[in-house]
Amino acid sequence: MQELSLAQLRASFVNTSRREASQATPEQDLASVDWEQLSLLGWRDAHNPQRAFVIIPVEDRHVGIMLTAVPSPPRKAMCALCEDITEVSDVKMFIAKAAGAAGRKGDTLGTLIHADFKCSKYARRFPSRLEGQDNPEAFIAARVERLRENAERFALRVLGEAH
């Protein structure tokens, strides 16, 4: 994804108050982020473990979404964004308030996401023997594209622009 400054990142939020957006602070120093290897940027709030933020590229814009983790006992699940079938033990249900008028009415959307938001890394992992290792580049490219599509669809749903 394209590199973002802290100001651009905070300005991208679509379902927060201005105050909530101004307090969103990624866990990693933005100068050390390897943007080329990222399909999305997500993190848990250091001061509120139930709160998380994710920035999703959608065509030429970035859509920032605030999420709330649903407290639940650990169970195995597939992340709806990267759909990785090997990393299934740290996947949580997150709820996003819808953007705009729908959100003010109380509409929310839920999705299963890796609690560490490392979907970009999981989508880029080397295929297992069962997944076919003769063309790992094609395998990884297809998974990265799938993650991009799933993340974009989720962002458009939050925006109320999904078809």
Q: Using the rule CB under 5 A, is 69 a contact of Zn ion?
A: no
Question: Nearer Cβ to Zn ion, position 63 or 113?
Answer: 113
Question: Nearer Cβ to Zn ion, position 79 or 99?
Answer: 79
Question: Nearer Cβ to Zn ion, position 42 or 103?
Answer: 42
Q: Using the rule CB under 5 A, is 81 a contact of Zn ion?
A: yes
Which among 27-35, 78-86, 127-135, 154-162 is the span making contact with Zn ion, rule CB under 5 A?
78-86
Cβ 67 vs Cβ 154: under 8 Å: no
Binding Zn ion (rule: CB under 5 A), the pick from 4, 24, 56, 119 is: 119
Number of residues that bind Zn ion (CB under 5 A): 5
Q: Which of 55, 57, 50, 72 has its CA nearest to residue 21?
A: 55
Cross-strand pairs, 58: 61
Q: Which of 40, 119, 45 has its CA nearest to residue 78?
A: 119
Binding Zn ion (rule: CB under 5 A), the pick from 79, 96, 99, 109 is: 79
The full DSSP string for 97-141 is EPSHHHHHTT-EEEEEEETT--HHHHHTSPPPTTT-SS-HHHHHH
User: Closest separation between CB of residue 150 and Zn ion, Å?
Assistant: 9
Which among 31-39, 49-57, 67-75, 110-118 is the span making contact with Zn ion, rule CB under 5 A?
110-118
Dist. CA 62–CA 104, nearest whole Å: 22
In single-letter form, the type of residue at position 97 comes to K
Q: Using the rule CB under 5 A, is 62 a contact of Zn ion?
A: no
**Contact residues for Zn ion, defined by CB under 5 A:** 79, 81-82, 114, 119
